[in-house]
Amino acid sequence: MPPTQPVFKDLRVPKAGERIRYAHGEPVTPAHPIIPFIEGDGVGRDIWKAAVRVFDAAVAAAYKGERKIEWLEVYAGDKAQGKYGVYLPDDTIEAIRHFGVAIKGPLTTPVGTGIRSLNVTMRQTLDLYSCIRPVRFLFGAPSPMRHPEDVDFVIFRENTEDLYAGIEWKAESPEAKKLIAFINDMLSKDPSTKGKRVDEAAGIGIKPISRYRTQRNMRRALKHAIKNGINDVCIVHKGNIMKYTEGAFRDWCYELAVTEFRGQVVTEEELHAKHGGKLPEGKILVKDRIADNAFQQILLYPQNYRVLVMPNLEGDLLSDAAAAQIGGLGIAPGANIGDEAAVFEATHGTAPTIADKNIANPSAMISSGALMFEHIGWPEVRKLLDDTLRRTVNSGTLTADFADQIEGATSVGTGEFADALIKNLAASEPVPEPKLARKKTVMKRRK
Ligand code: NAI
């Protein structure tokens, strides 16, 4: 018996369509799934309108009417505040939990106020424990790299703990003072920490990192590597400094690799001790790099990285730096995935200065949709979306953010860009390789 649908206070659930269920952590998708969407604040309004037209056209092109998405609008951010009087209504969380997969636009998060990030709250409440961000030079966006085509990796960022757990107290608050007094007492009694003290006037944030949460993210990363024939998984951490959090993160990732995936992996230590530095055919190399080194590695030798597994904060920072390598946040897609729900989202924010002007670039939202279709087991739609983005961008039809940087490009509005994407869904010529022409700094390929 399927679970009964919760009673939603204020949502118009489509009559046709069914929920996506999960079995052993994988989605089971009906032909007419109901998928909740959050339009988002700011440019979310522009890019969602464009993206949904492209999604529907791609599904129709792939399945000729045999499959169709029934979209269900759910609310968060400013629109929810207007409708429900809260930024993240229970209806929204319950609808995503029940229907299993959702897609969202960006939401405003005020800095330094008492309001917690809606994105972080959603990830924690729905236990979306892996934040997955593919970083790949797919469609000729203006990249600062000399060889952006070498950039092709996926980041698996732990998404529920670390400093993002949101456990913190303001400087000089009674709670911070109480905790500091307790910590200073512990420090003074332990010979190994003698002489260390926390300043009484400090603000305090807690950084929990646990074996279970670390390992379920690593498991997902290794399964991804196996499924996609990838032979390199790198754990990125700052364990040399934070031994019992990020150091433990590294150790627990290795532990999982050599217990659950023993037959499939070789650690870097084993590579040299047992295999003369040569990875045996069909095995996955599991290695680790310290985070500061990883930041330069992905710039200098991106070709040596295919899957990166990271704690929450380091993963957030590296994801945005990596997105710059393939043309910036405006095109970077993201997925937040748990065992019973998944939420797909563009990684950029609400870009308030360009909102409601029909100039925003919907590519990140559309690429996030492509990931969603892959996740629900509709890879034909993912391929159509990837291909049409490449065709359209490489033909020089671009929104202003890209057109301004690319020689000879034609600048079009958000809606017109979506029209071009839909038109190019039907194109039959081969998908072109991304071009590298960037205005002013004309990049020559090294021989
Ligand atoms: P932002 O990503 O909104 O903007 C950064 C720059 O990128 C701006 O120049 C903007 O115009 C440009 N940009 C972003 N998206 C674009 C698009 N689709 N097309 C063309 N240009 C685009 O980052 P910012 O300014 O730091 O944040 C603005 C608001 O967004 C804040 O309230 C922040 O908290 C929120 N935010 C929300 C996120 C989410 O909901 N996932 C993620 C990041 C920020």
- The tens digit of pLDDT for each residue in 197-221 reads 999 999 999 999 999 999 999 999 9
Judge whether 238 counts as a catalytic residue.
yes
Residue 161, in any domain of the structure: no
Residue 316 a catalytic site member? yes
Q: How confident is the model at residue 330 (pLDDT cuts 50, 70, 90)?
A: confident
For residue 445, name the pLDDT band (cuts at 50, 70, 90). Answer: very low
Contact yes or no for 318/165 (Cβ under 8 A):
no
| One domain for residues 139 and 15 | yes
Task: Answer whether residue 162 is part of any domain.
Answer: no
Mean confidence (pLDDT) of the chain: 91
Q: Which domain holds residue 114?
A: 1-147+326-440
Q: How far is CA 383 from CA 90, 122, 400, in A?
A: 34, 28, 25
Count CB atoms within 10 A of the CB of residue 65: 7
Whether 316 is in a domain gets the answer no
Q: Is residue 424 part of a domain?
A: yes
Whether 363 is in the pocket of ligand 1, judged by its Cβ within 6 Å, is: no
Interval 343-370: pLDDT, tens: 999 988 999 999 999 999 999 999 999 9
Provide the number of structural domains found in the chain.
3
User: What pLDDT, on a 0 to 100 scale, did the predictor assign at position 339?
Assistant: 94
Residue bearing the CA closest to ligand 1, atom 44:
349
Q: Which residue of 350, 354, 356 sits with most ligand 1 atoms within 8 Å of its CB, as the best mutation to test the pocket?
A: 350
Q: What is the mean pLDDT of residues 74-97?
A: 93
Question: How far apart are the CA of 349 and the centre of ligand 1, in A?
Answer: 3
Give just the sign of the alpha carbon dihedral 190, 192, 194, 196.
negative
Task: Give the tens place of pLDDT for each residue, 34-68.
Answer: 999 999 999 999 999 999 999 999 999 999 999 99
The answer to whether 315 and 161 are in contact (CB under 8 A) is no
Task: List the beta strands (DSSP E) in 213-264.
Answer: 232-237
pLDDT of residue 443: 40
- The single residue listed with the structure tokens 């018996």 is 1
Within its chain, how far is the Cα of 233 from the centroid? Answer: 17
**Cβ(107) – ligand 1 distance below 6 Å:** yes
Residues 32 and 117 in one domain: yes
Q: Which one from 75, 164, 254, 305 is the annotated catalytic residue? A: 164
How many other β-carbons are positioned within 10 Å of the β-carbon of residue 263?
A: 7
d(Cα 347, Cα 64) in Å, to the nearest integer? 31
User: What is the average pLDDT across 227-249?
Assistant: 97
200 with 229, same domain: the answer is no
Determine which residue's CA is closest to atom 26 belonging to ligand 1.
349
Average pLDDT over residues 65-79: 96
Which of the residue ranges 278-282, 425-429, 430-434 has the most confident prediction, judged by mean pLDDT? Answer: 278-282
In terms of domains, do 244 and 130 share one? Answer: no
* 64 part of a folded domain: yes
Give the pLDDT of residue 438.
Answer: 54
Tell me: pLDDT of 331 over 50: yes
Other beta carbons within 10 angstroms of residue 225's beta carbon come to 24
298 belongs to a structural domain: yes
Identify the pLDDT of residue 1.
47
Q: What is the pLDDT of residues 155-165, one digit of tens each?
A: 999 999 999 88
Q: Whose CA is nearest to atom 12 of ligand 1?
A: 351
How far apart are alpha carbons 233 and 224 in whole angstroms?
10
**pLDDT given at position 112:** 55
Same domain membership, residue 422 and residue 361: yes
- Asked if residue 354 and residue 266 are part of one domain, the reply reads no
Q: Is residue 241 domain-shared with residue 183, that is, in the same domain?
A: no
Q: Indicate whether 445 belongs to any domain.
A: no
Closest CA to 371 of 201, 155, 199: 155
**Is there a single domain that holds both residue 371 and residue 232?**
no
φ and ψ of 65, to 5 deg: 90, -10
Stretch 313-322: mean pLDDT: 94
Does residue 401's CB lie within 6 angstroms of at least one atom of ligand 1?
yes
Tell me if 447 is assigned to some domain. Answer: no
Residues 218, 201 share a domain: no
- Average pLDDT rounded to a whole number, residues 376-403: 92
User: What CATH number corresponds to the domain at position 401?
Assistant: 3.40.718.10
| 377 and 330 in a common domain | yes
User: Do 6 and 143 belong together in one domain?
Assistant: yes
What's the whole-number mean pLDDT along residues 389-403? 88
Residues 227 and 339 in one domain: no
Verify whether residue 83 is a known catalytic residue: no
Q: What percent of the chain has pLDDT over 70?
A: 94
